[in-house]
């Protein structure tokens, strides 16, 4: 299932790149852009934003993701998702408990990596120093995507009964080059509600 999702995502992003190259820039929606060093802030109506480098391609509501993003050569692809009304806890309870323990491999497997071939966990655990000031849970896994050994960086957090989650993935051979961008993207997430 994961291989198919990754293949579909790459195909969707390639189509966006192709269409973007063929369509005049003036036909695209006009959005105020920050300086190139800051990237583009993508806000979602579900109550979060994520910042991507200006040269990344972005699709919305593609392959079931809120945002499907990739660098120019698609050697790094990221997905963000949300689900409403999935936790019955106050923000104070979430903030006090989410950063305390490790929600673990089984949780991340069910949430993000179900059916991924050759799935192996490098790490799971809380991220209490997320730049948003809100605790996140993180996972790093290796898997095989379309016959290619790959590494994925997953995350999840909760706020106002909602879940915000996703992952970035890259071929393991390109991990050293792409991991900083994956981590920066995940660390750019802000919960606005």
Query: Residue 115: phi, psi to the nearest 5?
Result: 80, 5
Nearest to 68 by CA among 88, 87, 44: 44
* Each residue's pLDDT tens digit, 19-47: 333 222 222 222 333 343 479 999 999 99
Sequence-ordered strand ranges (E) for 39-119: 40-44, 48-52, 57-62, 65-70, 76-83
Per-residue pLDDT of the chain (193 residues; tens, 9 = 90+): 343 444 434 333 333 333 333 222 222 222 333 343 479 999 999 999 999 999 999 999 888 899 999 999 999 999 999 999 999 999 999 999 999 999 999 999 999 999 999 999 999 999 999 999 999 999 999 999 989 999 999 999 999 999 999 999 999 999 999 999 999 999 999 998 6
Question: What does pLDDT average to over the chain?
Answer: 83
Q: Residue 67: how many CB atoms within 10 A of its CB?
A: 21
The pLDDT score that the predictor gives to residue 10 is: 39
Query: Which CATH architecture fits 2-30+63-191?
Result: 3-Layer(aba) Sandwich (3.40)
């Amino acid at each position: 299932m994961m291989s198919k999702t990754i293949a579909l995502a790459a195909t969707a992003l390639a189509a966006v790149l192709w269409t973007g190259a063929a369509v005049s820039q003036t036909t695209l929606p006009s959005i105020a852009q920050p300086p190139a060093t800051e990237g583009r802030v993508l806000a979602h109506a579900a109550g979060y934003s994520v910042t991507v480098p200006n040269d990344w391609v972005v699709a919305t509501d593609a392959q079931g993701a809120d945002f499907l993003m990739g660098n120019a050569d698609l050697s790094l692809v990221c997905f963000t998702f949300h689900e409403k009304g999935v936790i019955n806890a106050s923000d104070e309870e979430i903030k006090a408990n989410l950063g305390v323990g490790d929600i673990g491999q089984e949780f991340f497997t069910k949430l993000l990596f179900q059916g991924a071939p050759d799935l192996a966990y490098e790490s799971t655990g809380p991220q209490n120093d997320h730049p948003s000031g809100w605790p996140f849970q993180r996972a790093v896994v290796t898997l095989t995507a379309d016959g290619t050994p790959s590494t994925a960086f997953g995350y999840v957090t909760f706020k106002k009964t909602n879940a915000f989650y996703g992952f970035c993935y890259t071929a393991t051979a390109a991990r050293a080059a792409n991991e900083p961008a994956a981590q920066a993207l995940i660390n750019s997430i802000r919960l606005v509600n």
